[in-house]
Structure 1
Amino acid sequence: MQAALPLLNEGASVILCGSAGDVKASPGTSVYAASKTAIRSLARSWAAELVDRKIRVNVVAPGLTETPGLNGLFVGAEDALAGLTATVPMKRRAQPEEIGSVITFLASDGSTFMTGSEIYVDGGASQF
């Protein structure tokens, strides 16, 4: 962010990648959760610091997303992935385009009155 800041024009949009790990506790994920909480805190601080330059800072927190990386983690353990997917209230994984649509919105003029926000795109996992 420090390196990019001088390059950002007035009205720019900065989008950070968060996670429901900042609001949902899970055994064995304390360091991961702390890092995602730090991202959320940085976004709030940067949003306040950059508001006079009309630079917006927001966070997208995707849930389980159908990617080669996720599937690669579960090679030979597809039942574990299915079990994890079953914990998502919508009972499925996001498609990358669903996450991308939210990022596109935050980068667009449609979100010019949003800063310091976090949007969970996780099928409801962070909400109940």
Structure 2
Amino acid sequence: MSEGGSIVMIGSIAGFIGTAGYGVYGASKAAVRSYSRTWTRELSGKGIRVNTLSPGPIDTPMFDDVSDEVRKTLTALIPLGRLGKPEEVAAAAFFLASDESSYITGAELCIDGGMSQV
């Protein structure tokens, strides 16, 4: 990667909220957070920024086969009262990759409607 680049890691709020039955998934996403923080230090001399984007439940095709009960249960845990949209995650990733975030590195941006804050 050239000097001044930007790396956007894709994590998940599962990396820090703890979800029964998803221990391996959560651990792998926690590892993404750790890599991001480590690489922030290691790559700073090259002016390369490293940030993590951690979505919560996003209304993607993965949710097409989810029951209404599961969808309602998840939605009830989200302060904004809805699943996220893929476009919202894409906009955040674009921001972190752009020069608009030139003074942001080592950060984790949660796109989760407030779910991880409750």
Q: TM range, normalised to the smaller chain? A: over 0.9
2:24 to 25, 31, 34: 31
Q: Which residue of 1 aligns with 2:50?
A: 57
Larger radius of gyration: 1
Question: Identity of counterpart residues, as a percentage?
Answer: 41
Deviation, 1:60, is 0.3
Unaligned runs of 5+ in 1: 1-7
- Name the Cα RMSD after superposition: 1.1
Count, aligned residues? 118
Give TM-score scaled by structure 1 length: 0.87
Q: Which residue of 2 aligns with 1:125?
A: 115
Structure 2 residue 99 is matched with structure 1 residue 109: yes
- Post-superposition Cα deviations, 1:11-63, rounded to whole Å, max 9, x if no partner, equal 11100111111221221121111111110000001110000111111000011
Unaligned runs of 5+ in 2: none
Q: Which residue of 1 aligns with 2:76?
A: 86
Structure 1 segments of 4+ aligned residues over 4 angstroms from their partners: none
Give the residue type in structure 1 aligned to 2:114.
Answer: G
Give the residue type in structure 2 aligned to 1:124.
Answer: G
Counterpart mapping for 1:61-72 below 5 A: 61-72=54-65
Give TM-score scaled by structure 2 length: 0.94
Structure 2 residue 6 is matched with structure 1 residue 41: no
Distance 1:113 1:71 in 2: 38
